[in-house]
A and B are shown apart, each in its own frame.
Chain A
Amino acid sequence: MDALLIVFASGLISLFAAFAKKPWLVVGSAMAGLLAAIIVIIGQLQTGKAFFDFLKYEGLAFDQVALLFSLAICVLTLLIVGIGYERFKENPVHTGEYIGLLLFSATGAMIMTAYTDMFMFFLGLEILSIPIYVMAGSNKADVRSSEASLKYFLTGSFATGVFLFGLAWVYGATGTFKLQEIQLKIQEMDTLSPILMIGVLLIMASFIFKVGAAPFHFWSPDVYDGAPPAVTGFMASVVKIAAFFAFLKMFAFCFGRGELYDFWKGALVVMIVITLFVGNLSALRQVKFKRLLAYSSITHVGYTLLLFVSQGDVAGTLWFYMFSYGFSIVGIIAVAIAVNDSEDRIEGLRGLGKRNPFLAIVGIVALLSLAGIPPTSGFFAKYILFSSAWENASWLVIIALINSGISIYYYLKVLVTIASPAEQEQEKIKLSPLTIAVLTIALVGMLGFSFILPFLY
């Protein structure tokens, strides 16, 4: 709860700090707030005590797992605030609104990690989504940005409608909105009512929409392509962490009863297979960098969905996977922003090793991590994920491994482009200290995670 309040307050402060017309002040207050939130969360994880103990609401429970996920959200948001700053140095208008919305969105994500009833889930989902609709269109001069915003808005609110309709049916079957009571009611039923099944299917459809898995993935390449790069990074990392954890909690906890599990598992398995192949095969023929990342993110969603059919410490695996994926995506987006190719082609990265060796190193490590090649954290995350799913769904894991193999092709293609020399001499890229700091943190995250892993497990 403390961290939630701090992030929200620093969002408000950065909104008002914008009146001073100094972008560094806005970004500074946002970063200070996020750092304070991170420190508070770590403190709470160690002592187990909240600072504002008297502030309690039964709909939100910040237990150990929720705190760990909030930590991941705060760290990644901090990095994204850092990489978004470059844009405002030339054009400081709307810095406050952009950073403020980013922090409010992170607040929604944190609510989604800690919810215990559907009121909070719904509010968290909307607090997370509505600022992103605006942020996706924050590049007002660019039609493509506004178009991405409209597309995200329409699909997002459609998914919300589907979710609510499903929720209404679940309410009709169980008569409550609390997770605990829903679970109890479902356990007590003699036979599963069809009303409940319709509800669960609709909620699952909306979830598939929100995380952008096939067959409801069509919006995500367009939106990722059109939105400003920092917002793309936010959508690919923080939003996915929050959505995955929230729905995992709902499905594993509430709808985990034997017959019901078999019912939605059947639908999910089909979707995992489609998602993996659609994401990978479309990524193979992309020439634009952000579109490639969008399709690769669809594939990663496919891998992550394996968690719903696996067993063991599912939340821990999800945390590790999404955190390391978040670091990789933020790293690669930071590289793309620094290169600043107006047409955003993969070819624009050619000769990066000459232009700035540090950028090239971060880019290469991020690509290796996305592809899942040791010693990056992406490899270990994928390894844990696949081994936890192996027992329940070994044939799915084999399909995922085949897809991993395909994906290495397009990651290596980009990697080779970065490493190979350009035809004509290009100017060197100068990095600001903030960008260097973000890149370093992402690099440490991608490599360091693999070293601390033995201590975690």
Chain B
Amino acid sequence: MLLATLFESGVKIEHYMVLATALFVIGVFGVLYRKNAIILLMCIELMLNAVNLLLVAFSTYFGQADGQLFVFFIMVVAAAEATVGLSILVLLYRNTRSTDIRLFNKLKN
């Protein structure tokens, strides 16, 4: 019911742009201010999903498939990145017993 009213009132491309930007900015602030490495990973995923949303919206707006095709590429790469990121985190967790990024400071002189 709610969805039907939304579509009838006409969701414009601008709405998607605002929503995607909001999601992206939330992701960026999460990366900058959160201290847990797993949450950082989730925030990066959120950024990528904002990009996906924007690409699909533009793609539908232009009436072509390119943008949606790109979304598949992003999904595949995001999965690969998450795999690598989590395994790096496991490696570090063995040493520090924590995922707090403030503890990873052995490289500062």
Which residues from chain A sit less than 8 Å from chain B, CB to CB?
A: 118-119, 122-123, 126, 130, 133-134, 137, 140, 143-144, 146-151, 153-154, 157-158, 160-162, 164-165, 167-169, 171-172, 175-177, 222, 225-226, 287-288, 291
Contacts A165-B47, A225-B107; A119 near B73 (Cβ below 8 A): yes
Tally chain B residues at the interface, Cβ within 8 Å: 41
Q: Choose from B74, B106, B108 the contact partner of A143 (Cβ within 8 Å).
A: B106
- A133: nearest residue on chain B (CB-CB)? B84
How many angstroms from the CA of A291 to the CA of B44 in the assembled complex?
28
Chain B residues contacting A146 (CB-CB under 8 Å) are: 88, 91-92, 95
Q: Are A148 and B91 in contact, with the CB atoms below 8 A? A: no
Task: Tell me if B89 counts as interface (CB < 8 A to partner A).
Answer: yes
Q: Are B44 and A143 in contact, with the CB atoms below 8 A? A: no
Chain A residues contacting B51 (CB-CB under 8 Å) are: 161, 164-165, 167-168
Contacts A122-B73, A122-B77; A171 near B55 (Cβ below 8 A): yes
Interface residues of B in 66-109 (CB under 8 A from A): 66-67, 69-70, 73-74, 77, 80-81, 84-85, 88-89, 91-92, 95-96, 101, 104, 106-109
Q: Are B66 and A130 in contact, with the CB atoms below 8 A? A: no
Chain A residues contacting B95 (CB-CB under 8 Å) are: 143, 146
Chain A residues contacting B107 (CB-CB under 8 Å) are: 144, 147-148, 151, 222, 225-226
Known: A147-B107, A287-B109, A291-B109. 4 other contacts (CB 8 A): A126-B77, A143-B96, A146-B92, A161-B27
Q: Are B47 and A161 in contact, with the CB atoms below 8 A? A: yes
Interface-central residue, A119, A148, A158, by most chain B CB under 10 Å: A158
Contacts A130-B84, A144-B107; A164 near B74 (Cβ below 8 A): yes
Chain B residues contacting A150 (CB-CB under 8 Å) are: 37, 88-89, 92, 101, 104
Q: Are A165 and B44 in contact, with the CB atoms below 8 A? A: no
Chain A residues contacting B89 (CB-CB under 8 Å) are: 150
Contacts A140-B91, A164-B48; A147 near B109 (Cβ below 8 A): no
Q: Are B58 and A168 in contact, with the CB atoms below 8 A? A: yes
Chain B residues contacting A123 (CB-CB under 8 Å) are: 73, 77
Q: Are A168 and B54 in contact, with the CB atoms below 8 A? A: yes
Minimum C-beta distance from B65 to chain A (A): 11
Q: Choose from A149, A160, A172 the contact partner of B54 (Cβ within 8 Å).
A: A172
Q: Choose from B31, B64, B69, B92 the contact partner of A158 (Cβ within 8 Å).
A: B31
Chain B residues contacting A167 (CB-CB under 8 Å) are: 51
Minimum C-beta distance from B70 to chain A (A): 7
Q: Are A137 and B85 in contact, with the CB atoms below 8 A? A: no
Q: Are A157 and B85 in contact, with the CB atoms below 8 A? A: yes
Interface-central residue, A123, A137, A147, A168, by most chain B CB under 10 Å: A168
The 8 closest A-B pairs by CB, nearest first: A161-B47, A168-B54, A164-B51, A222-B107, A172-B58, A146-B91, A126-B77, A147-B104
Q: Are B91 and A161 in contact, with the CB atoms below 8 A? A: no
Q: Are B48 and A144 in contact, with the CB atoms below 8 A? A: no
Minimum C-beta distance from A227 to chain B (A): 10
Minimum C-beta distance from A176 to chain B (A): 7
How many angstroms from the CA of A123 to the CA of B77 in the assembled complex?
8
Task: Tell me if B7 counts as interface (CB < 8 A to partner A).
Answer: no
Q: Are A151 and B81 in contact, with the CB atoms below 8 A? A: no
Minimum C-beta distance from B87 to chain A (A): 8
B1-44 interface mask toward A, CB cutoff 8 Å, 1 = contact, 0 = none?
A: 00000000000000001001000100100010000010010001
Q: Choose from A168, A226, A288 the contact partner of B55 (Cβ within 8 Å).
A: A168
Q: Choose from B27, B47, B66, B106 the contact partner of A144 (Cβ within 8 Å).
A: B106
Q: Are B92 and A165 in contact, with the CB atoms below 8 A? A: no
Q: Are B106 and A161 in contact, with the CB atoms below 8 A? A: no
Minimum C-beta distance from A165 to chain B (A): 5
Minimum C-beta distance from B44 to chain A (A): 5
Q: List 21 A-B contacts (CB under 8 A).
A: A122-B73, A130-B81, A133-B88, A143-B106, A146-B92, A147-B107, A150-B37, A150-B92, A153-B85, A154-B37, A154-B44, A154-B85, A158-B31, A161-B44, A162-B47, A164-B47, A165-B47, A165-B50, A168-B54, A172-B17, A287-B109
Interface-central residue, A143, A147, A154, A161, by most chain B CB under 10 Å: A161
How many angstroms from the CA of A428 to the CA of B66 in the assembled complex?
61
How many angstroms from the CA of A212 to the CA of B69 in the assembled complex?
30
Chain B residues contacting A147 (CB-CB under 8 Å) are: 92, 104, 106-107
- A202: nearest residue on chain B (CB-CB)? B24
How many angstroms from the CA of A10 to the CA of B72 in the assembled complex?
28
Contacts A130-B80, A171-B55; A153 near B109 (Cβ below 8 A): no
Q: Choose from B24, B61, B64, B104 the contact partner of A151 (Cβ within 8 Å).
A: B104
Minimum C-beta distance from B59 to chain A (A): 8
How many angstroms from the CA of A137 to the CA of B67 in the assembled complex?
34
Chain A residues contacting B61 (CB-CB under 8 Å) are: 172
